[in-house]
Protein backbone atom coordinates (compact mmCIF):
# COMPACT_ATOMS: atom_id res chain seq x y z
CA UNK A 1 0.00 0.00 0.00
CA UNK A 2 1.30 3.46 -0.85
CA UNK A 3 2.33 5.84 1.90
CA UNK A 4 -0.30 8.43 2.80
CA UNK A 5 -0.17 11.50 0.61
CA UNK A 6 0.77 13.66 3.60
CA UNK A 7 3.92 11.58 4.07
CA UNK A 8 4.84 11.87 0.40
CA UNK A 9 4.27 15.58 -0.19
CA UNK A 10 4.49 17.36 3.14
CA UNK A 11 8.18 18.02 2.65
CA UNK A 12 7.52 19.20 -0.91
CA UNK A 13 4.69 21.59 -0.15
CA UNK A 14 5.47 24.84 1.58
CA UNK A 15 2.98 26.91 3.50
CA UNK A 16 0.94 29.24 1.24
CA UNK A 17 1.80 32.31 3.27
CA UNK A 18 5.52 31.57 3.08
CA UNK A 19 6.01 29.74 -0.24
CA UNK A 20 9.69 30.60 -0.66
CA UNK A 21 10.59 30.11 2.99
CA UNK A 22 11.55 33.77 3.28
CA UNK A 23 8.84 34.86 5.70
CA UNK A 24 7.10 37.04 3.14
CA UNK A 25 4.74 36.49 0.24
CA UNK A 26 3.56 38.39 -2.77
CA UNK A 27 0.68 37.80 -5.16
CA UNK A 28 2.85 36.12 -7.81
CA UNK A 29 4.39 33.69 -5.32
CA UNK A 30 0.98 32.79 -3.89
CA UNK A 31 -0.48 32.28 -7.35
CA UNK A 32 2.46 30.06 -8.28
CA UNK A 33 1.98 28.02 -5.09
CA UNK A 34 -1.69 27.45 -5.88
CA UNK A 35 -1.00 26.61 -9.54
CA UNK A 36 1.64 24.04 -8.55
CA UNK A 37 -0.86 22.39 -6.20
CA UNK A 38 -3.53 22.33 -8.89
CA UNK A 39 -1.05 20.77 -11.31
CA UNK A 40 -0.31 17.98 -8.81
CA UNK A 41 -4.08 17.51 -8.39
CA UNK A 42 -4.61 17.24 -12.16
CA UNK A 43 -1.78 14.71 -12.42
CA UNK A 44 -3.33 12.65 -9.63
CA UNK A 45 -6.69 12.67 -11.45
CA UNK A 46 -4.96 11.66 -14.69
CA UNK A 47 -3.39 8.74 -12.82
CA UNK A 48 -6.79 7.73 -11.49
CA UNK A 49 -8.33 7.83 -14.94
CA UNK A 50 -5.43 5.93 -16.51
CA UNK A 51 -5.96 2.80 -14.41
CA UNK A 52 -6.33 -0.25 -16.63
CA UNK A 53 -7.92 -3.50 -15.62
CA UNK A 54 -9.96 -4.20 -12.54
CA UNK A 55 -10.47 -1.37 -10.08
CA UNK A 56 -9.23 -2.04 -6.57
CA UNK A 57 -9.06 -0.09 -3.34
CA UNK A 58 -5.41 0.67 -4.02
CA UNK A 59 -5.67 1.76 -7.66
CA UNK A 60 -8.96 3.62 -7.32
CA UNK A 61 -9.73 4.85 -3.82
CA UNK A 62 -6.08 5.50 -2.92
CA UNK A 63 -5.63 7.47 -6.15
CA UNK A 64 -8.83 9.39 -5.47
CA UNK A 65 -7.76 10.16 -1.91
CA UNK A 66 -4.39 11.38 -3.20
CA UNK A 67 -6.11 13.67 -5.72
CA UNK A 68 -8.41 15.12 -3.06
CA UNK A 69 -5.46 15.65 -0.71
CA UNK A 70 -3.53 17.48 -3.42
CA UNK A 71 -6.52 19.74 -4.02
CA UNK A 72 -6.72 20.37 -0.29
CA UNK A 73 -3.09 21.57 -0.26
CA UNK A 74 -4.00 24.22 -2.80
CA UNK A 75 -6.86 25.43 -0.66
CA UNK A 76 -5.06 26.05 2.65
DSSP secondary structure string for all residues of the chain: -PPPHHHHHTTT---TTSTTSSS---HHHHHHHHHHHHHHHHHHHHHHHT--SS--IIIIIHHHHHHHHHHHHTT-
pTM of the model: 0.64
> 45 or 13: which carries more pLDDT confidence?
45
Is residue 36 pLDDT above 50, yes or no? Answer: yes
Q: What percent of the chain has pLDDT over 90?
A: 11
| Structure confidence by residue, pLDDT tens digits, 44-74 | 899 889 989 999 888 888 888 888 888 877 5
Amino acid sequence: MAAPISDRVSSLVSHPWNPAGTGSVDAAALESWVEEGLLRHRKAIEGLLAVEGQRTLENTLRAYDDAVAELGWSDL
